[in-house]
Amino acid sequence: MTPRLLLAALAPLAALASPLSFRVGPSGVDVSLGSTVTPSYSVVNCTGYTVDSVQETDSGIQAQLKLAGEACNAFGVTIPDLTLSVTYETSSRLHVHIYDTAEQQYQLPQSVLSRPSTSSTTASQSDFIFHYTNGSTPFAFWVEKRSTGSIVFDTRPANIPVYTEPLFAYETNASVTNTTAMPAHPLVFSNQYLQLSSALPENANVYGLGEYISGNFRRDPNSTVQPFFTLDIGDPVDSNLYGYHPIYVETRYDRAGNADSHGVFLLQTSGMDILLRPGVIQYRAIGGTFDFYFFSGDETPASGGAVTNSPLSVIEQYVQFVGLPQMPPLWGFGYHQCRWGYNNVSDTQFVIDSMRAANIPLETQWNDIDWMDAYRDFIPAPNRFAPSEYEAMIQGLHDNHQHYIPIIDGAVGVQIPNGTDVYDPWTSGTEQGIFIHNEDGSQYIGQVWPGYTSFPDWYNNQSQAWWTDAFRNFSQIISFDGIWEDMNEPSSFCVGSCGTGQNWSTLGAPDTSPTIVTGWPEGYDFTTYGTSGNMTVNGTSTYVPDATTNFKRSVDLTSATRSLAKRSDIVYQNVSQRFLETPPYAIHNAKGPLDVQTVAMNATTAFGAFYDVKNIWGHMSEVRTHNALLSLAPNNRPFLVARSTYAGSGKYTHHWLGDNYATWRYMAYSIQGILQFQIFGIPMVGADTCGFNQNTDEELCNRWMMMSAFTPFFRNHNTRGALPQEPFRWDSVADASRRAAAARYSILPYFYTYMAQASITGTPAMRAVFWEFPSPDQMLNDRQFMVGPSLLVTPVLEPNVTSVKGTFPGDGPWRDLWTHAPLNVTPNVNTSISAPLSEINVHIRPGSVILQYAEPAYTIYETQQSQYDIVVALDKNGTAAGTAYIDDGESQWPTPSKTISFTAGQGKLTITPGTGAYTIPNTVRQVSVLGVPNRPQALARGGSSNSTAFTYEPSIQRLNATLTDGDLNSGFTLAWE
């Protein structure tokens, strides 16, 4: 009997006992347990495993692990026979996989995340050394870094501290199943609970393990509880969010102050907790296997020489492993405007016109779910977004070289069986068997914005053609340029298949009333000064230092939601039986039970139980949407922005940071969000500028618009019912936005270069300061960030101030992006610098060369017609270097391109064109060399017979060379004496 037929035969049994779920492995369904099993809810008596047999080769180890004693059945049925597979895949990557020998536990197929083929690396060539215990001792392993001798991962219980007390007061209740106490550290491997611990240094510098919002970009080494379970939730602190990325990068310093980094990725899809307590990281998964990949970060230069190591190289190695990110089109770097609450074409057109009237660059206009008819994907509301009027608005944008993006939600509304309702995406999907089903074979019906909804089974390959057809039909209605994909965790507003057997018309009318919005940014006293959000009312400041914050999370993370009580009715009849809705171990899911706010765990897909694959549903939807967009415009880069992501999603989508809040602290949180997604391989990322939930005010929006101009994805978006926050609403915000957009569009060639590098090598485009300047003093700095290696951004992140503190590492001098004036501060010391309203501190790193557009314009297209300027910021040795990647900005990646190299030293700038088929149409207008100590006597230009005029400004030591036809295709030199 084939696995599919066997599952069909077992379906009636599953319907009779909903906790039962059968997993088919190579050996079929295992029903040989011998007797019933009740979970012990404790790992204290778990004995671990011993090594039974070993086969070693030059490239790895294969071993059998046998249960060392009696089964402890801590939070499930102990699996007695395991396999250990160790492979030295490359010199910098080690693969350690511990899995059940029968292979009945879920493992992610290559079709979802394609793992690169391994090289012929031998153990002696690897940057890692794998050690393990043998004999009668319980199995443990540790991974050593060959270059440093440090142990980067160590599962030996003797080296790991135990904690008998939990982190939280509510856990003292003996009935809690997910206590953060760590009374013992055996390897635990059962059908619904896997546990593994590793020793960490004291105050470990660990980054990643997300998606998350926390007190700092660095994870708290003493009390982090990070759940992994994709969830539709309004950006709470210290919780699971939309994405699933169990990768961390750790940086250690030796006594001499030298930094060394490595990365650890657990390939998992199950719900999971990862805990950090002093000296330990612990993994607790409710399914799957322990499939670890270690990245050394060590790199040998192509030209030979000493091995180098940095967090950047660790991230490169990880991103190259999961898949290099999609390169956005150049227009995607423009300013985007949206809100939930543009109720019709007129509302949307008003924003487009108002932005133009205020001369605030608008590259792309968006619409939230308001555009849909009854919130159904692909169907415009006929009375509010009549197709002809809707398309005319979009064509007006296109005529002005602007763009348009609508939202698409993950769930598909059902067709109401009243004889008149017609909705082809649902009927065709039903006919083709595209949607997720219940265990009894009926279609799973949840509830989202359209009312009752079905959920595409993205794991079914037939879903691709169906989804592509839906987009092709949609493209005949409106001419969209990209897609915004939301609610793809997936989200459902009811528990279970609430629409099965119901009258589907009862939820057919969605709620269109405005959201009630409360709360303001810290310091804004709305009780006295009203709801304008203005900084001043009748000449009086609306800021009150002791005003009530009114900050609220969107979810109450109390013990009631973060823990579940032990259940006496969990009794296993066989090892393949699983309790899917309420597994014995309760991960610290922000919504508590796993079925809340999402599809039920016992729903069925082409990949098996939803329990195993829920966390890749969003990723799979992005694969399908990316492919659909590519099929519609095969010569152009698809532009997709989505919410729920997984390892490797960057190949298909970009990301925004979800439903944040209009508060100063959330503006600061967005920095850590942008940096963590550089680790995850999704560099095109940004926050809802000025905040999504609650009301913003003039000052916050002013500062936030300027900061977001230096992040990859630049969009203003907020919720319905809140104060309008488009940048033209306040004069000061309009001024700040014009200045910020002009600066952003000016540096686009530089910004684009490092986003391209992210897509070519995996190197992060946005960088934490310590990634460029490793120092123990910088490990907690997430209030500054870098764009590429050369621009340091120091935003104002608090109200009612005209200065900001920042650290400026290196030898200096850093120079202001706008004026080029040197910054006179003591290097590496936290220093207060001026920051008036409508200004943001962005500084050029000494030793940098930046290619810019000479005349930033209203749109990216118009800006592209500009000539280039080159800014050379000499360091104290009189040298500088940089690169510029240039292509047409839209052709499908990879596309013909040219990479230019800039080197300066000994009074000479050399511009060298690299190889590449692309011909650069723009010429260089001006070269500014900063840090020239004296006025040159002459300026000579090579590669051209034209004379070169120049000016010199001694106050800032700036040499300005005026060119008429600086050709980057052939290159040239400038020499000053």
* Residue tagged active-site, from 273, 489, 612, 726: 489
The type of residue at 846 is P
**Pair of tokens at residue 502:** 């119901």
Parallel, antiparallel or unpaired: strands 640-642 and 483-486 = parallel
Q: Does CATH number 2.60.40.1760 belong to domain 50-108+116-322?
A: yes
Output the pLDDT for position 764. Answer: 98
Phi and psi based region of residue 208 (left: phi greater than 0; alpha: psi -120 to 50; beta: remaining): left
- CA gap 330, 887 in Å, rounded: 9
**Pair of tokens at residue 748:** 């686009």
Closest CA to 639 of 651, 623, 626: 626
CATH number assigned to the domain covering 846-976: 2.60.40.1180
Q: CA 945, 949, 954, 955 torsion: positive or negative?
A: negative
DSSP string covering 656-676, please?
A: E--S-BSSHHHHHHHHHHHHH
Largest CA distance in the chain: 94
Closest CA to 197 of 159, 150, 149: 159
Contact status, residue 665 vs residue 521, Cβ threshold 8 Å: no
Determine whether 659 is an active site residue.
yes
- CA gap 6, 580 in Å, rounded: 20
Residue corresponding to tokens 């800032």: 956
Determine whether 489 is an active site residue.
yes
Output the pLDDT for position 2. Answer: 33
Residues of the chain with pLDDT below 70 are: 1-34, 173-174, 302-303, 546-562, 943-947
How far, rounded to the nearest angstrom, does the alpha carbon of residue 53 sit from its chain's CA centroid?
Answer: 41
- This prediction has a pTM of 0.95
Output the pLDDT for position 13. Answer: 30
Q: Where in the chain is the domain with CATH 2.60.40.1180?
A: 781-841, 846-976
Q: CA 586, 589, 593, 598 torsion: positive or negative?
A: negative
* Residue tagged active-site, from 659, 688, 698, 887: 659
* Residue tagged active-site, from 30, 486, 595, 869: 486
Determine whether 486 is an active site residue.
yes
- CA gap 732, 829 in Å, rounded: 32
DSSP string covering 390-441, please?
A: HHHHHHHHHHTT-EEEEEEESSEEPPPSSSS---HHHHHHHHTT-B-B-TTS
Closest CA to 403 of 449, 337, 340: 337
Please list the residues that pair with 882 across neighbouring strands. 902
Residue 739, Cβ neighbours under 10 Å: how many? 17
- CA gap 487, 340 in Å, rounded: 14
Output the pLDDT for position 977. Answer: 81
- CA gap 265, 580 in Å, rounded: 25
Q: Where in the chain is the domain with CATH 3.20.20.80?
A: 330-514+592-750
Is the N-terminal amide bond of 236 cis, ω within 30° of 0?
Answer: no
Write the CB contacts of 169 (distance below 8 Å, at least 6 apart in sequence).
Answer: none
Taking CB atoms within 8 Å and a gap of at least 24, the contacts of 425-434 are 425/376, 425/377, 425/378, 425/466, 425/470, 426/454, 428/466, 428/469, 429/454, 429/456, 429/466, 430/454, 432/462, 432/466, 433/460, 433/462, 434/460, 434/462, 434/463, 434/466
Residue 952, classed as helix, strand or coil, is strand
- CA gap 775, 754 in Å, rounded: 23
Q: What is the CATH architecture of 330-514+592-750?
A: Alpha-Beta Barrel (3.20)
Per-residue three-class SS string for 66-127: EECCCCCCCCCCECCEEEEEEEEEECCEEEEEEEECCCCCCCCCCCCCCCCCCCCCCHHHCC
Output the pLDDT for position 558. Answer: 55
Q: 419-431 burial string, b = 16+ CB within 10 Å, else e?
A: eebebebbeebee
DSSP string covering 891-950, please?
A: BSSS---EEEEEEEETTEEEEEE-S-SPPP--EEEEEEEE---S--S-EEEES-SS--EE
CATH number assigned to the domain covering 781-841: 2.60.40.1180
Q: Across the beta sheet with 245-253, what order do the strands follow? A: 49-57, 60-67, 81-90, 93-100, 290-295, 259-266, 245-253, 205-210
Please count the residues of the chain: 977
Q: 251-261 burial string, b = 16+ CB within 10 Å, else e?
A: bbeeeeeebbb
How does DSSP classify residue 208?
E
φ, ψ of residue 736 in degrees (nearest 5): -60, -40
- CA gap 672, 780 in Å, rounded: 11
Write the CB contacts of 512 (distance below 8 Å, at least 6 apart in sequence).
Answer: none
